[in-house]
Amino acid sequence: MTRPERDLARTHSGLPVLFGAVVALGLPAIFCPLVSCVVPTDRLSQERRTHELQRWWTDYKTAFLQPDGRVVRPRDGNDTVSESQAYGLLFSVLLGERDTFERIQNWTRVNLSRTVEHGDSLLAWRWKDGKVLDWNSASDADLDYALALLLAHRRWRDRAFLEEAERVGRDILANETRRVPGLGTILLPGSWEQAKDGGLSVNPSYFSPAAFRLLHQATGEAVWVELAAASYALWERSGRKLGDMTGAGLAPDWCVVTEDGRLSEMPDMSSSYGWEALRVPMRAGLDAVVCSNRQAETYLREGPVRFFRQWFASGHRNVAAVYSHAGRPKDTSESLAMTATALFAFRAAGEEAPSQLVKAFNEQIADGKSGDDYYGQSLAFFPLAYEAGVFHAAWLRR
């Protein structure tokens, strides 16, 4: 496997931005009743939050977006990965900024497309110093890329976006999925060799039920529904039991799925709830808020929400950066990425978040010492966008 575990020693915290931000374009005048208990609905608050979002988005683009449309990771030598490009596209379409979207898409297509090298529409995962360093694909980024294109078609009614998403989807199915008895079709981490001690290497945080559902709507292919179902089956099963380890209900960073559907630890890779797995609540949350999926809400309530509610009820003031599979803290440093996705889990599930979690998020996202934290800031987008009603915009329901 040539793609490394996601930058193992990440030390993500946060870009100096203001809480509660979201764009004005396409927002409802009054927020969804689901969040009325925690989000003010008066005009002054709405205008303030819109203004704060505009400042947040300006800060994000200043820190990470190059004029040519490349999204950089300052802590990794200003390299670019397919993940960062896909996040930039998602943020741009959700915030209604078509010029930015097309600039990011153009750079991505010109510099990361595997069409010439491999004959598919997937993306090379890493680029630096003017060239691709690794032509292998990463399925999480490919799915986010397809999801952004589908949302762009839904928002701007440009069929070119839909056609590109369909091409990407076909190549995801051909190169990044495998059928497993008892589970159905599952997503693999990328196009590289998957065999690992008699099983398949799997990263649960790559699964994107929202992307699967929108690709099903676009193509009518039933396999996308199968992929969404397998996502929840694997999240739930891996959170409860991984080999001989009993879990706390949180999916692992990596695991192995054997040919008969059993789950075990992946040698030489993390089985913690860490820098990878912390995105699972974001993935399930998108399914809840974009696709109105009740299974997503149930999973969030019974998994991450329950865990973090108990964590704060035990007297903790912040979330840990990494937890063991059993739910014990392994790295107690503060992590904006972990805090942001924990908060989004509560919001997307329609649950009121513990005050300690909200306070920790506000403090971490305003921390001016971490302005180069691409990963934490990118994941902070999701609770920020939810607070301001982005995911309740009418155009998302088309």
Quote the domain boundaries for residue 119: 66-171
Residue 2 lies in a domain: no
Regarding whether 398 and 293 lie in a shared domain, the answer is: yes
Close Cβ partners of 204 (under 8 Å, ≥ 6 residues apart): 231, 234, 235, 238, 251, 252, 253, 255, 277, 280
- Which residues face 177 on adjacent strands? 187
Regarding whether 38 and 104 lie in a shared domain, the answer is: no
**Single residue among 141, 171, 201 that ends a domain in this structure:** 171
Regarding whether 333 and 255 lie in a shared domain, the answer is: no
How many domains does the chain fold into? 3
DSSP 35: G
Residue 31 lies in a domain: yes
Q: Rounded CA gap, 316 and 359, in Å?
A: 12
Q: What is the 3-state secondary structure (H, E, C) of 328-368?
A: CEEECCCCHHHHHHHHHHHHHCCCCCCHHHHHHHHHHHCCH
Q: Rounded CA gap, 165 and 312, in Å?
A: 41
Regarding whether 340 and 318 lie in a shared domain, the answer is: yes
Residue 250 lies in a domain: yes
Residue 308 lies in a domain: yes
Question: Shortest CA distance to 358 belongs to which of 21, 19, 34?
Answer: 19
Regarding whether 303 and 230 lie in a shared domain, the answer is: no
Residue 364 lies in a domain: yes
Q: Rounded CA gap, 283 and 210, in Å?
A: 7
Residue 279 lies in a domain: no
pLDDT score of 192: 82
Regarding whether 71 and 35 lie in a shared domain, the answer is: no
Regarding whether 166 and 246 lie in a shared domain, the answer is: no
Regarding whether 291 and 396 lie in a shared domain, the answer is: yes
Taking only the tens of pLDDT, the chain with its 398 residues reads: 334 334 333 333 333 333 333 333 333 322 232 233 333 445 568 777 777 777 888 899 999 999 999 999 999 999 999 999 999 999 999 999 999 999 999 999 999 999 999 999 999 999 999 999 999 999 999 999 999 999 999 999 999 999 999 999 999 999 999 999 889 999 999 998 665 567 899 999 999 999 999 999 999 999 999 999 999 999 999 999 999 999 999 999 999 998 888 999 998 899 999 999 999 999 999 999 999 999 999 999 999 999 999 999 999 999 999 999 999 999 999 899 999 999 999 999 999 999 999 999 989 988 876 779 999 999 999 999 998 889 989 999 87
Regarding whether 392 and 340 lie in a shared domain, the answer is: yes
| pTM tops 0.85, yes or no | yes
Residue 255 lies in a domain: yes
> Which long-range CB contacts under 8 A does 108-117 form with residues at least 24 apart?
108/69, 108/82, 108/145, 111/70, 111/80, 112/82, 112/85
Regarding whether 293 and 264 lie in a shared domain, the answer is: no
**Single residue among 103, 137, 171 that ends a domain in this structure:** 171
**Single residue among 219, 242, 271 that ends a domain in this structure:** 271
Regarding whether 302 and 373 lie in a shared domain, the answer is: yes
Question: Shortest CA distance to 362 belongs to which of 52, 115, 93, 137?
Answer: 52
Q: Tell me the DSSP string of 286-303.
A: HHHHHH--HHHHHHHIII
Q: Rounded CA gap, 205 and 251, in Å?
A: 8
Token pair in block for residue 1: 């496997």
Residue 281 lies in a domain: no
Regarding whether 72 and 59 lie in a shared domain, the answer is: no
Across 62-104, where does the E strand assignment appear? Answer: 80-81
